[in-house]
């Protein structure tokens, strides 16, 4: 089995790694940003995806990756892990439907609550202790799921009509319209930016360039929050006006 992930702050990478280490030591994991992944898609029939839900939808970069490689999914078996800060309704389902559209067979879905990656909204920030507990609980949930999967019982979280209704009415109906232009709204505070170029190097969308010694954002952000969480000067924001707390899964593993 090949693990495939997209991740902004490491949650989705971490849970996939934990899952596969317990499920099968031989498994390897690839980021969708890794060019070597395409070869793996050709040579394998079974995959596990891990990704962060964004308002109960799939981040644009992952959606584009799946559509761009649309001929790769026919007949492939796919299990989906959706990570989330609180609630997604049909996180696994929304990616499952896209893959199914391209011929994949969805074997199951698992929803894992993890620390929230949105760094610039106070209401979403939790204490270090609480986030550590959240990660601990995710680990327990993975362990339980694997015991069931090994008995042939795949969890089906996020799959099916009731989850879909929850995802639509709980999230997409309200946020779909509101957030449609957010890919253009990443802001860099030029007074805080010291021109270190870190954000340029880590952005998976090549959405940031340096101009006159300062970072400058374009209009194709996939809202992964990677740069916002890693900028050493907390100069980047998207949804909120200032960075409240920078997140990275490593902080919650110690
Ligand atoms: C733009 C954006 C939208 C998000 N929307 C949701 C959401 O609808 N529901 C939820 O529970 N978490 C939401 N989150 C939180 C992330 O899904 C969660 O923190 C995820 O585990 C981050 O994974 P990563 O570290 O792999 O990027 C959102 C995060 C971002 C950046
Ligand atoms: S990471 Fe922050 S300080 Fe460095 S270039 Fe980007 S915005 Fe400026
Ligand atoms: S600009 Fe920042 S938040 Fe947007 S895609 Fe790039 S790294 Fe992610």
Give 195-233 pLDDT, tens digit per residue: 999 999 999 999 999 999 999 999 999 999 999 999 999
Judge if the beta carbon of residue 79 lies within 6 A of ligand 3.
no
Q: Rounded to the nearest whole angstrom, what is the distance from the C-alpha of residue 23 to the centroid of ligand 3?
A: 32
Residue 236 region, left (φ>0) first, then alpha (ψ -120 to 50), else beta?
beta
| Helix, strand, coil abundance in the chain, percent, nearest 5 | 40, 20, 40
Question: If you count DSSP H runs as helices and E runs as strands, how many of each does the chain have, helices first?
Answer: 9, 9
Q: Atom 3, ligand 2: which residue's CA is nearest?
A: 193
Per DSSP, what are the bridge partners of residue 110? 81
Q: Checking DSSP bridges between strand 236-237 and strand 46-52, what pairing results, if any? A: unpaired
User: Which of 61, 218, 220, 222 should be mutated for ligand 3, with most atoms under 8 A from CB?
Assistant: 222
CA of 234, closest atom in ligand 2 = 2
CA angle, residues 215, 217, 223, in degrees to nearest 5 = 120
Dist. CA 210–CA 105, nearest whole Å: 43
Q: Atom 4, ligand 3: which residue's CA is nearest?
A: 221
pLDDT per residue of the chain (254 residues) written in tens, 0 to 9: 899 999 999 999 999 999 999 998 678 999 999 999 998 888 899 999 999 999 989 999 999 999 999 999 999 999 999 999 998 899 999 999 999 999 999 999 999 999 999 999 999 999 999 999 999 999 999 999 999 999 999 999 999 999 999 889 888 888 877 777 778 899 999 999 999 999 999 999 999 999 999 999 999 999 999 999 999 999 999 999 999 999 999 999 97
Q: Atom 8, ligand 2: which residue's CA is nearest?
A: 193
Provide the 3-class DSSP secondary structure of residue 82. strand
Q: So what's the pLDDT on residue 120?
A: 96
DSSP track, 190-205: TTT-----HHHHH-TT
Q: Atom 3, ligand 3: which residue's CA is nearest?
A: 225
| Nearest ligand atom owner, CA of 243 | 2
Dist. CA 114–CA 77, nearest whole Å: 25
User: Which of 207, 216, 220 should be mutated for ligand 3, with most atoms under 8 A from CB?
Assistant: 207
Q: Rounded to the nearest whole angstrom, what is the distance from the C-alpha of residue 65 to the centroid of ligand 1?
A: 19
- List the domains of the chain with CATH numbers: 2-115+122-178 (3.40.50.360), 182-237 (3.30.70.20)
DSSP 79: E
* Encoded tokens for 88: 């997604």
CA of 226, closest atom in ligand 3 = 7
Provide the 3-class DSSP secondary structure of residue 169. helix
Q: Nearest Cα to 235, choosing from 204, 196, 206, 202? A: 196
| pTM (whole model) above 0.85 | yes
């Amino acid at each position: 089995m090949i693990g495939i992930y997209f991740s902004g702050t490491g949650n989705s990478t971490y849970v996939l790694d934990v899952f596969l280490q317990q499920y099968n030591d031989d498994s390897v994991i690839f980021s969708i940003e890794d060019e070597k992944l395409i070869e793996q898609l050709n040579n394998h029939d079974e995959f596990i995806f891990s990704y962060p839900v964004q308002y109960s939808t799939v981040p644009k970069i992952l959606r584009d990756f799946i559509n761009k490689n649309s001929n790769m999914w026919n007949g492939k078996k796919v299990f989906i892990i959706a990570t989330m800060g609180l609630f997604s309704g049909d996180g696994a389902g929304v990616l499952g439907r896209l893959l199914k559209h391209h011929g994949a067979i969805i074997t199951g879905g698992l929803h894992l609550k993890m620390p929230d990656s949105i760094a610039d909204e106070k209401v979403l920030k939790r204490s270090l202790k609480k986030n550590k507990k959240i990660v601990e609980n995710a680990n327990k949930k993975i362990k339980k799921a694997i015991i069931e999967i090994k008995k042939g019982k795949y969890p089906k979280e996020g799959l099916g009509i009731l989850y879909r209704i929850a995802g639509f009415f709980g999230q997409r109906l309200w946020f779909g319209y509101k957030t449609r232009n957010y890919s253009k709204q990443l802001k860099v505070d030029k007074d805080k930016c010291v021109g270190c170029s870190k954000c340029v190097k880590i952005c998976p969308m090549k959405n940031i360039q340096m101009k006159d010694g300062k970072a400058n954002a374009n209009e194709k952000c996939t809202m992964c929050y990677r740069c916002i969480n890693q900028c050493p000067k907390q100069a980047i924001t998207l949804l909120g006006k200032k960075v409240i707390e920078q997140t990275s899964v490593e902080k919650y593993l110690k």
